[in-house]
């Protein structure tokens, strides 16, 4: 039996920047991915929010939110009248063709690959024992870790902490702060501690002051989410997701929206979409923030003005641009 590749569907391909996967894929919504792929596929074609929305069966607000998301990730650039590929993407940096065969040697040398959040191999028990005999600070770390977690550490737990210290470069005091914080937010398990520790190390959070700032920002985001969830009537069985915390932090702490404005955005979302959609609400609030609308009265006034302008435009389109009565009075033979 012989096999061959059917290149029929591969006859036409387009490039997708690796940053889509490296920076944006994890948190991107279905709509955001659809919009990006459509834009990449339509290179050279003039697109509008409405044309993209119609092609993908999305609401124009979702399209605008998706474009903003990829602009924030540095993939697209928004100008006065157009959205273009970011300069590094145009230059081909980190761009890989979507083709049936991938060559590892063509991968961009400048692409940064963060250390995997989960790793199969951890320090061997013999190495861990040797490190504990050589470093009293590690012994202190294990003792304090057992106190914080309220349990005896397993060999795997001990290996994880040694790994965070030796491989990822987190000082003992920073690891202890991370563990205390994890317990406080009801995530005092080694899987979360390992994942977060690797993330902290990749962000360069290797001092007490930086760890304190990171925890403070998380607390502010959590408080902001409590406000948002109360206004929206959200009832979660567990802790909020990273994306939910990011939205709440922007709306409450950065854009300084009141509960009344959050409620109004929520109502507009439900009236339009028929359900709670944080991405859609983010688009509404972003537009209000950019327009400088700070309270429901200003929003109502702006909506009323837009409605009046829209009606006037429709009326002018239906009214002839010339005077019929005057035309009929004048003879075509008059000078």
Q: Which two tokens stand for residue 279?
A: 């991405």
Instruction: Give domain 219-297's CATH architecture.
Output: Orthogonal Bundle (1.10)
Backbone angles phi, psi at 15, to 5 degrees: -85, 140
pLDDT computed for residue 52 by the predictor:
86
Pairing of strands 15-17, 76-78: unpaired
Backbone angles phi, psi at 83, to 5 degrees: -120, 125
pLDDT computed for residue 94 by the predictor:
39
pLDDT tens, the chain, 335 aa long: 556 555 555 556 777 888 788 777 767 777 788 888 888 888 777 788 888 888 888 777 778 877 877 777 777 766 555 555 555 544 444 333 333 333 333 333 333 444 444 444 688 888 999 999 999 999 999 999 999 999 999 999 999 999 999 999 999 999 999 999 999 998 999 999 999 999 999 999 999 999 999 999 999 999 999 999 999 988 766 678 889 999 999 999 999 999 999 999 999 999 999 999 999 999 999 999 999 999 999 999 988 888 776 666 665 555 554 444 443 444 444 44
The four Cα atoms 43, 48, 49, 50 give a dihedral, to 10 degrees, of: -120
Q: Which of 171, 176, 179, 181 is nearest to 205 (CA)?
A: 171
Fold of 125-206: Arc Repressor Mutant, subunit A (1.10.10)
Q: Classify domain 15-99 by CATH number.
A: 1.10.10.10
pLDDT computed for residue 11 by the predictor:
56
pLDDT computed for residue 150 by the predictor:
95
Residue 224 sits at the vertex; the CA angle it makes with 219 and 228, to the nearest 5 degrees, is 145
Distances in Å between the Cα of 270 and the Cα atoms of 19, 163, 276, 284 are 33, 47, 6, 12
Per-residue buried b or exposed e for 63-84, using 16+ beta carbons within 10 Å of the residue's own CB:
bbbbbbbbeebebbeeeeeebe
Residues of the chain with CATH 1.10.10.10: 15-99
Q: Which two tokens stand for residue 44?
A: 């050279």
Q: Which long-range contacts (CB under 8 A, 24 or more apart) does 88-94 make?
A: 89/17, 89/19, 94/17, 94/18, 94/19, 94/22
pLDDT computed for residue 100 by the predictor:
32
pTM exceeds 0.75: no
């Amino acid at each position: 039996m012989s096999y061959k590749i059917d290149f029929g569907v591969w006859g036409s391909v387009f490039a997708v920047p690796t940053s889509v996967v490296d920076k944006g894929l994890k948190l991107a919504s279905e709509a955001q991915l659809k919009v990006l792929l459509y834009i990449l596929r339509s290179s050279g074609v003039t697109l509008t929010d409405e044309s993209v929305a119609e092609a993908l069966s999305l609401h124009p607000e979702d399209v605008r939110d998706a474009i903003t998301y990829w602009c924030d990730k540095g993939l697209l650039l928004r100008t006065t009248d157009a959205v273009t590929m970011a300069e590094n993407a145009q230059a081909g940096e980190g761009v890989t063709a979507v083709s049936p065969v991938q060559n590892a040697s063509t991968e961009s040398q400048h692409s940064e690959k963060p250390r995997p959040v989960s790793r199969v191999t951890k320090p061997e028990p013999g190495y861990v024992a040797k490190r504990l005999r050589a470093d009293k600070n590690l012994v202190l770390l294990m003792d304090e870790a057992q106190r914080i977690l309220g349990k005896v550490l397993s060999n795997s737990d001990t290996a994880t902490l040694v790994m965070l210290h030796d491989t990822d470069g987190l000082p003992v005091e920073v690891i202890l702060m991370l563990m205390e914080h994890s317990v406080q937010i009801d995530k005092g398990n080694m899987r979360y501690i390992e994942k977060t520790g690797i993330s902290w190390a990749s962000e360069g959070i290797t001092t007490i002051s930086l760890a304190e700032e990171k925890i403070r920002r998380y607390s502010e985001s959590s408080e902001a989410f409590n406000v948002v969830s109360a206004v929206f009537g959200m009832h979660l069985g567990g802790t909020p997701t990273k994306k939910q915390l990011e939205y709440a932090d922007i709306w409450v702490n950065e854009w300084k929206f009141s509960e009344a404005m959050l409620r109004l955005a929520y109502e507009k979302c439900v009236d339009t979409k028929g359900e709670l959609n944080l991405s859609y609400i983010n688009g509404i609030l972003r537009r209000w923030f950019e327009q400088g609308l700070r309270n429901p009265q200003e929003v109502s006034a702006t909506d009323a003005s837009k409605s009046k302008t829209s009606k006037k435009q429709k009326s002018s389109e239906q009214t002839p641009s010339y005077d019929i009565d005057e035309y009929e009075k004048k003879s075509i033979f008059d000078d």
